[in-house]
Amino acid sequence: MKKTEFVVAQIGCGYWGPNLLRNFSAIPTCRVKYVVDGDSSRRAFVASKFPAITVLSDADAVFADPEVDATIIATPAATHFSLAHRSLSSGKHAFVEKPLATSTAQANELARLALAGSLVLMVGHTFVYNAAVRHVKTLIEQGHLGELRYIYSQRLNLGRIRTDIDALWNFAPHDISIIQYWLGDPEPVRVLRSGMAYIQPTVEDVVFLNIRYPGRVMAHIHVSWLDPQKVRKMVVVGSRRMVVYDDMADDKVAILDKGIDVRAELGKNMDFDSSPTTAFSYRSGDILLPMIKFDEPLRVQAEHFLSCMAGETHCLTGPDHARRVVQILEAAQQS
Protein backbone atom coordinates (compact mmCIF):
# COMPACT_ATOMS: atom_id res chain seq x y z
CA MET A 1 0.00 0.00 0.00
CA LYS A 2 1.27 3.45 -0.94
CA LYS A 3 2.52 5.47 2.03
CA THR A 4 0.42 8.62 2.53
CA GLU A 5 2.63 10.37 5.09
CA PHE A 6 6.38 10.43 5.68
CA VAL A 7 7.75 11.18 9.14
CA VAL A 8 11.03 13.07 9.12
CA ALA A 9 13.47 14.52 11.63
CA GLN A 10 15.67 17.54 10.96
CA ILE A 11 19.15 17.63 12.46
CA GLY A 12 20.47 21.18 12.59
CA CYS A 13 18.45 24.39 12.44
CA GLY A 14 21.05 27.13 12.19
CA TYR A 15 21.64 29.52 9.28
CA TRP A 16 19.98 27.49 6.49
CA GLY A 17 17.95 25.03 8.57
CA PRO A 18 14.86 27.24 9.11
CA ASN A 19 14.33 27.44 5.33
CA LEU A 20 14.34 23.66 5.05
CA LEU A 21 12.08 23.29 8.08
CA ARG A 22 9.58 25.80 6.69
CA ASN A 23 9.31 23.95 3.38
CA PHE A 24 9.17 20.37 4.67
CA SER A 25 6.62 21.39 7.32
CA ALA A 26 4.34 22.90 4.66
CA ILE A 27 4.02 19.70 2.60
CA PRO A 28 0.81 17.81 3.46
CA THR A 29 2.42 14.38 3.02
CA CYS A 30 5.30 15.19 5.38
CA ARG A 31 5.30 15.38 9.19
CA VAL A 32 8.37 16.77 10.93
CA LYS A 33 8.45 14.94 14.24
CA TYR A 34 11.80 16.11 15.64
CA VAL A 35 14.24 18.97 15.26
CA VAL A 36 17.69 18.47 16.79
CA ASP A 37 20.09 21.31 17.58
CA GLY A 38 22.78 21.68 20.21
CA ASP A 39 22.08 25.40 20.63
CA SER A 40 19.36 26.11 23.20
CA SER A 41 18.40 29.38 21.46
CA ARG A 42 17.76 27.49 18.19
CA ARG A 43 15.65 24.91 20.04
CA ALA A 44 13.65 27.73 21.62
CA PHE A 45 13.14 29.29 18.18
CA VAL A 46 11.76 26.03 16.75
CA ALA A 47 9.53 25.43 19.77
CA SER A 48 8.01 28.91 19.44
CA LYS A 49 7.37 28.64 15.69
CA PHE A 50 6.48 24.93 15.47
CA PRO A 51 4.94 23.84 18.79
CA ALA A 52 3.90 20.43 17.43
CA ILE A 53 7.54 19.46 16.81
CA THR A 54 9.63 17.82 19.55
CA VAL A 55 12.96 19.60 19.98
CA LEU A 56 16.05 17.66 21.09
CA SER A 57 19.64 18.49 21.94
CA ASP A 58 21.09 15.29 20.39
CA ALA A 59 20.03 12.90 17.67
CA ASP A 60 20.12 9.54 19.48
CA ALA A 61 16.33 9.38 19.86
CA VAL A 62 15.88 10.13 16.16
CA PHE A 63 17.94 7.17 15.00
CA ALA A 64 16.26 4.88 17.55
CA ASP A 65 12.70 5.85 16.58
CA PRO A 66 11.25 3.35 14.06
CA GLU A 67 8.51 5.82 13.08
CA VAL A 68 11.06 8.20 11.53
CA ASP A 69 11.38 7.50 7.80
CA ALA A 70 14.08 10.02 6.96
CA THR A 71 16.48 12.59 8.34
CA ILE A 72 17.18 16.08 7.03
CA ILE A 73 20.80 16.92 7.83
CA ALA A 74 21.57 20.66 7.92
CA THR A 75 24.70 20.78 10.05
CA PRO A 76 28.32 21.90 9.38
CA ALA A 77 29.96 20.08 6.45
CA ALA A 78 32.41 18.17 8.65
CA THR A 79 29.50 16.36 10.35
CA HIS A 80 27.61 15.35 7.18
CA PHE A 81 29.32 11.99 6.75
CA SER A 82 28.88 10.73 10.31
CA LEU A 83 25.24 11.81 10.56
CA ALA A 84 24.29 10.47 7.13
CA HIS A 85 26.11 7.22 7.95
CA ARG A 86 24.07 6.83 11.15
CA SER A 87 20.85 7.62 9.32
CA LEU A 88 21.41 5.09 6.54
CA SER A 89 22.72 2.48 9.00
CA SER A 90 19.51 2.81 11.00
CA GLY A 91 17.42 2.21 7.89
CA LYS A 92 16.37 5.82 7.31
CA HIS A 93 16.49 7.83 4.09
CA ALA A 94 18.77 10.88 4.24
CA PHE A 95 18.60 14.36 2.81
CA VAL A 96 21.98 16.04 3.31
CA GLU A 97 22.85 19.68 2.75
CA LYS A 98 25.75 20.26 0.36
CA PRO A 99 28.40 18.99 0.20
CA LEU A 100 27.55 15.33 0.78
CA ALA A 101 30.92 14.70 2.46
CA THR A 102 34.43 16.10 2.65
CA SER A 103 36.10 13.33 0.63
CA THR A 104 35.32 11.01 -2.26
CA ALA A 105 35.95 7.98 -0.04
CA GLN A 106 33.26 9.16 2.38
CA ALA A 107 30.85 9.85 -0.49
CA ASN A 108 31.47 6.35 -1.87
CA GLU A 109 30.75 4.77 1.52
CA LEU A 110 27.46 6.64 1.87
CA ALA A 111 26.47 5.64 -1.67
CA ARG A 112 27.24 2.01 -0.83
CA LEU A 113 25.09 2.12 2.31
CA ALA A 114 22.17 3.72 0.47
CA LEU A 115 22.31 1.12 -2.29
CA ALA A 116 22.58 -1.77 0.15
CA GLY A 117 19.57 -0.58 2.13
CA SER A 118 17.49 0.52 -0.90
CA LEU A 119 17.39 3.97 0.66
CA VAL A 120 17.22 7.44 -0.86
CA LEU A 121 20.35 9.52 -0.33
CA MET A 122 19.81 13.02 -1.70
CA VAL A 123 21.95 16.13 -1.44
CA GLY A 124 20.63 19.69 -1.28
CA HIS A 125 22.08 21.01 -4.52
CA THR A 126 19.16 23.43 -4.63
CA PHE A 127 19.92 25.11 -7.94
CA VAL A 128 19.19 21.91 -9.86
CA TYR A 129 15.58 22.57 -8.78
CA ASN A 130 15.67 26.21 -9.91
CA ALA A 131 13.42 26.90 -12.94
CA ALA A 132 15.97 29.26 -14.53
CA VAL A 133 18.76 26.67 -14.28
CA ARG A 134 16.45 24.05 -15.77
CA HIS A 135 15.54 26.40 -18.64
CA VAL A 136 19.23 26.82 -19.52
CA LYS A 137 19.67 23.04 -19.50
CA THR A 138 16.79 22.72 -21.99
CA LEU A 139 18.45 25.30 -24.26
CA ILE A 140 21.71 23.34 -24.17
CA GLU A 141 20.09 19.94 -24.75
CA GLN A 142 17.92 21.17 -27.63
CA GLY A 143 20.90 22.69 -29.41
CA HIS A 144 19.77 26.32 -29.25
CA LEU A 145 23.26 27.44 -28.23
CA GLY A 146 25.07 25.38 -30.85
CA GLU A 147 28.36 23.75 -29.91
CA LEU A 148 29.09 24.45 -26.25
CA ARG A 149 32.41 26.25 -25.76
CA TYR A 150 32.85 27.49 -22.20
CA ILE A 151 31.03 28.45 -19.00
CA TYR A 152 32.09 30.87 -16.32
CA SER A 153 30.51 31.78 -13.01
CA GLN A 154 30.88 34.33 -10.22
CA ARG A 155 29.51 33.74 -6.73
CA LEU A 156 30.72 36.69 -4.69
CA ASN A 157 29.76 38.59 -1.56
CA LEU A 158 31.16 40.62 1.34
CA GLY A 159 30.71 38.02 4.14
CA ARG A 160 29.45 35.68 5.57
CA ILE A 161 32.91 34.38 6.53
CA ARG A 162 33.15 30.73 7.59
CA THR A 163 35.74 29.20 9.87
CA ASP A 164 34.99 25.50 9.26
CA ILE A 165 35.33 25.49 5.45
CA ASP A 166 36.89 27.82 2.88
CA ALA A 167 35.17 29.84 0.15
CA LEU A 168 35.57 26.98 -2.34
CA TRP A 169 33.77 24.36 -0.22
CA ASN A 170 31.19 26.95 0.90
CA PHE A 171 30.22 28.50 -2.46
CA ALA A 172 31.58 26.39 -5.33
CA PRO A 173 29.39 23.29 -4.75
CA HIS A 174 26.50 25.35 -6.13
CA ASP A 175 28.27 26.25 -9.37
CA ILE A 176 29.89 22.84 -9.83
CA SER A 177 26.51 21.18 -9.34
CA ILE A 178 24.87 23.49 -11.90
CA ILE A 179 27.61 22.95 -14.48
CA GLN A 180 27.56 19.18 -13.96
CA TYR A 181 23.77 19.22 -14.34
CA TRP A 182 23.95 21.25 -17.54
CA LEU A 183 26.63 19.00 -19.05
CA GLY A 184 25.13 15.66 -17.98
CA ASP A 185 27.54 14.86 -15.10
CA PRO A 186 30.72 14.20 -17.10
CA GLU A 187 34.06 13.42 -15.49
CA PRO A 188 36.44 16.38 -15.89
CA VAL A 189 39.72 16.02 -17.74
CA ARG A 190 41.57 18.44 -15.47
CA VAL A 191 40.90 20.56 -12.37
CA LEU A 192 43.12 23.48 -11.37
CA ARG A 193 42.67 25.77 -8.37
CA SER A 194 44.23 29.04 -7.26
CA GLY A 195 43.24 30.73 -4.02
CA MET A 196 44.44 32.88 -1.16
CA ALA A 197 43.76 33.22 2.58
CA TYR A 198 43.66 36.85 3.69
CA ILE A 199 41.53 36.95 6.87
CA GLN A 200 42.35 33.58 8.47
CA PRO A 201 45.72 31.86 7.96
CA THR A 202 44.40 28.50 6.72
CA VAL A 203 40.98 29.39 5.27
CA GLU A 204 41.03 30.71 1.70
CA ASP A 205 38.71 33.69 1.19
CA VAL A 206 38.92 33.82 -2.60
CA VAL A 207 39.35 30.94 -5.06
CA PHE A 208 39.56 30.68 -8.84
CA LEU A 209 38.75 27.20 -10.15
CA ASN A 210 39.33 26.02 -13.73
CA ILE A 211 37.81 22.78 -15.03
CA ARG A 212 38.50 21.19 -18.42
CA TYR A 213 35.81 18.82 -19.72
CA PRO A 214 35.78 16.37 -22.64
CA GLY A 215 34.87 17.93 -25.97
CA ARG A 216 37.02 21.05 -25.41
CA VAL A 217 34.51 22.55 -22.97
CA MET A 218 36.01 24.75 -20.26
CA ALA A 219 34.51 26.07 -17.01
CA HIS A 220 35.83 28.83 -14.76
CA ILE A 221 34.44 29.42 -11.26
CA HIS A 222 35.26 32.49 -9.15
CA VAL A 223 34.12 32.45 -5.51
CA SER A 224 34.84 34.95 -2.74
CA TRP A 225 33.41 36.39 0.46
CA LEU A 226 35.72 39.44 0.20
CA ASP A 227 34.05 41.13 -2.77
CA PRO A 228 32.37 44.57 -2.70
CA GLN A 229 29.28 43.34 -4.59
CA LYS A 230 26.89 40.44 -4.23
CA VAL A 231 27.08 38.57 -7.54
CA ARG A 232 25.39 35.33 -8.56
CA LYS A 233 26.00 35.10 -12.30
CA MET A 234 26.83 32.40 -14.85
CA VAL A 235 27.54 32.79 -18.57
CA VAL A 236 27.31 29.99 -21.13
CA VAL A 237 29.01 30.59 -24.48
CA GLY A 238 27.98 28.51 -27.48
CA SER A 239 28.81 28.67 -31.16
CA ARG A 240 25.31 29.93 -32.08
CA ARG A 241 24.08 31.79 -29.02
CA MET A 242 25.12 32.77 -25.52
CA VAL A 243 23.16 32.75 -22.25
CA VAL A 244 23.50 34.85 -19.10
CA TYR A 245 21.93 33.38 -15.96
CA ASP A 246 21.84 36.07 -13.28
CA ASP A 247 20.16 34.96 -10.07
CA MET A 248 20.14 38.54 -8.73
CA ALA A 249 18.29 40.01 -11.75
CA ASP A 250 14.55 40.26 -12.35
CA ASP A 251 15.01 38.58 -15.74
CA LYS A 252 17.15 35.69 -14.61
CA VAL A 253 17.87 34.27 -18.08
CA ALA A 254 18.95 36.31 -21.11
CA ILE A 255 19.59 34.60 -24.46
CA LEU A 256 21.95 36.61 -26.69
CA ASP A 257 22.17 36.03 -30.42
CA LYS A 258 25.86 36.85 -30.52
CA GLY A 259 28.92 35.13 -31.91
CA ILE A 260 31.85 35.12 -34.31
CA ASP A 261 31.86 32.96 -37.45
CA VAL A 262 34.44 32.24 -40.12
CA ARG A 263 33.20 34.03 -43.23
CA ALA A 264 32.72 31.89 -46.35
CA GLU A 265 34.96 33.03 -49.23
CA LEU A 266 34.65 32.26 -52.93
CA GLY A 267 37.45 29.96 -53.97
CA LYS A 268 38.05 28.65 -50.47
CA ASN A 269 40.48 25.70 -50.55
CA MET A 270 40.93 25.98 -54.34
CA ASP A 271 44.33 26.20 -56.00
CA PHE A 272 44.05 29.89 -56.86
CA ASP A 273 42.92 30.79 -53.33
CA SER A 274 46.12 32.11 -51.77
CA SER A 275 44.70 34.57 -49.24
CA PRO A 276 47.00 34.56 -46.17
CA THR A 277 44.26 35.76 -43.80
CA THR A 278 40.93 34.39 -42.59
CA ALA A 279 37.84 36.61 -42.65
CA PHE A 280 35.33 36.64 -39.76
CA SER A 281 31.77 37.84 -39.40
CA TYR A 282 30.47 39.20 -36.10
CA ARG A 283 26.87 38.56 -35.09
CA SER A 284 25.04 40.81 -32.64
CA GLY A 285 21.36 40.07 -32.90
CA ASP A 286 18.37 40.08 -30.58
CA ILE A 287 18.34 39.52 -26.83
CA LEU A 288 15.53 37.23 -25.67
CA LEU A 289 14.24 37.35 -22.09
CA PRO A 290 12.11 34.20 -21.75
CA MET A 291 9.15 34.11 -19.38
CA ILE A 292 9.89 31.44 -16.77
CA LYS A 293 7.38 30.22 -14.21
CA PHE A 294 9.05 30.06 -10.80
CA ASP A 295 8.28 27.93 -7.78
CA GLU A 296 10.50 28.16 -4.71
CA PRO A 297 13.41 25.80 -5.48
CA LEU A 298 13.54 24.59 -1.86
CA ARG A 299 9.90 23.53 -2.05
CA VAL A 300 10.49 21.76 -5.39
CA GLN A 301 13.55 20.06 -3.86
CA ALA A 302 11.67 18.92 -0.75
CA GLU A 303 8.78 17.53 -2.82
CA HIS A 304 11.28 15.74 -5.05
CA PHE A 305 12.86 14.06 -2.02
CA LEU A 306 9.48 12.80 -0.85
CA SER A 307 8.65 11.56 -4.38
CA CYS A 308 11.95 9.67 -4.44
CA MET A 309 11.13 8.08 -1.08
CA ALA A 310 7.76 7.02 -2.49
CA GLY A 311 9.52 5.40 -5.45
CA GLU A 312 7.84 7.73 -7.93
CA THR A 313 10.91 9.26 -9.55
CA HIS A 314 14.68 9.00 -9.93
CA CYS A 315 16.74 11.27 -7.66
CA LEU A 316 18.33 14.14 -9.61
CA THR A 317 20.90 14.97 -6.93
CA GLY A 318 21.48 11.49 -5.60
CA PRO A 319 24.81 9.79 -4.78
CA ASP A 320 26.20 9.86 -8.35
CA HIS A 321 25.71 13.59 -8.85
CA ALA A 322 26.77 14.46 -5.29
CA ARG A 323 29.85 12.23 -5.48
CA ARG A 324 31.03 13.91 -8.70
CA VAL A 325 30.76 17.33 -7.03
CA VAL A 326 32.85 16.10 -4.08
CA GLN A 327 35.38 14.54 -6.50
CA ILE A 328 35.88 17.90 -8.22
CA LEU A 329 36.21 19.72 -4.90
CA GLU A 330 38.72 17.14 -3.69
CA ALA A 331 40.69 17.34 -6.94
CA ALA A 332 40.75 21.12 -6.56
CA GLN A 333 42.01 20.75 -3.00
CA GLN A 334 44.81 18.46 -4.15
CA SER A 335 45.78 20.74 -7.02
Q: What is the pLDDT of residue 265?
A: 59
Spatial contact of 2 and 278, defined as CB atoms under 8 Å apart: no
pTM above 0.75, yes or no: yes
**In the CATH scheme, what architecture does the domain 6-127+297-333 have?**
3-Layer(aba) Sandwich (3.40)
Residue 121 exposed, middle or buried by CB count within 10 Å (0-12, 13-18, 19+)? buried
What pLDDT score was predicted for residue 260?
Answer: 82
Taking only the tens place, the pLDDT of each residue in 64-84 is 999 999 999 999 999 999 999
174-217 pLDDT, tens digit each = 999 999 999 999 999 999 999 999 999 999 999 999 999 999 99
For residue 149, the number of C-alpha atoms closer than 13 Å in the C-beta half-sphere is 12
Judged on CB neighbours under 10 Å (0-12, 13-18, 19+), 101 is buried
Q: What is the pLDDT of residue 319?
A: 96
Parallel/antiparallel/unpaired status of strands 6-11 and 226-238: unpaired
Q: What pLDDT score does 274 carry?
A: 53
Q: What is the pLDDT of residue 295?
A: 94
Q: Who contacts 302 (Cβ-Cβ below 8 Å, separation ≥6)?
A: 20, 23, 24, 27, 30
The pLDDT assigned to 278 comes to: 65
- Ranges under pLDDT 50 in the chain: 272
pLDDT of 261 reads: 76
pLDDT at 67: 97
Q: From residue 307, how far is each of 82, 122, 155, 276, 300 by CA, in Å?
A: 25, 12, 31, 61, 10
pLDDT value for 267: 55
Domains of the chain, residue spans:
6-127+297-333, 128-295
Domain 128-295 homologous superfamily, CATH: Dihydrodipicolinate Reductase; domain 2 (3.30.360.10)
Gap between the Cα atoms of 255 and 287, Å rounded: 6
In the chain, DSSP assigns E strands to 6-11, 30-36, 54-56, 70-73, 93-97, 121-124, 148-158, 190-196, 206-213, 217-224, 226-238, 242-246, 253-262, 280-288
